[in-house]
């Protein structure tokens, strides 16, 4: 498909501008929409790329309790 360069490159640049700089330059209804869009994208990427590790903070204590229940001395 042969699109005009202004459409081919203009629309992605406009979308990128809306996401990156919209909340600093655009008037209020679009300002909050730009901010919310960027925040949603950052949260989505953060959840998918940087998956949080779930650390069991009580793991050592649970092992000690199991040792006590089994009658084994703890370290």
Is residue 61 a part of any domain in this protein? yes
The CA distance from 22 to 38, in Å, is 9
> Is the pLDDT at 74 greater than 70, yes or no?
no
What percent of the chain is modeled with pLDDT above 70? 95
Residue 75 belongs to a domain: no
Q: What is the pTM of this model?
A: 0.58
**Model pLDDT, residue 55:** 79
- Average pLDDT of the segment spanning 13-40: 92
Structural domain boundaries, residue 61: 5-70
Q: Do residues 47 and 25 lie in contact, with contact meaning Cβ atoms separated by under 8 Å? A: no
Number of domain units in the chain:
1
């Amino acid at each position: 498909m042969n699109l005009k360069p202004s459409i081919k490159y203009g629309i992605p640049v406009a979308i990128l501008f809306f996401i990156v700089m919209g909340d600093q330059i655009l008037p209020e209804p679009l300002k909050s929409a730009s901010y919310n869009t960027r925040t949603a994208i950052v949260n989505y990427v953060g959840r998918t790329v940087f998956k949080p590790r779930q650390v069991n903070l009580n793991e050592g204590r649970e092992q000690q309790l199991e040792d006590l229940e089994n009658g084994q001395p703890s370290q």
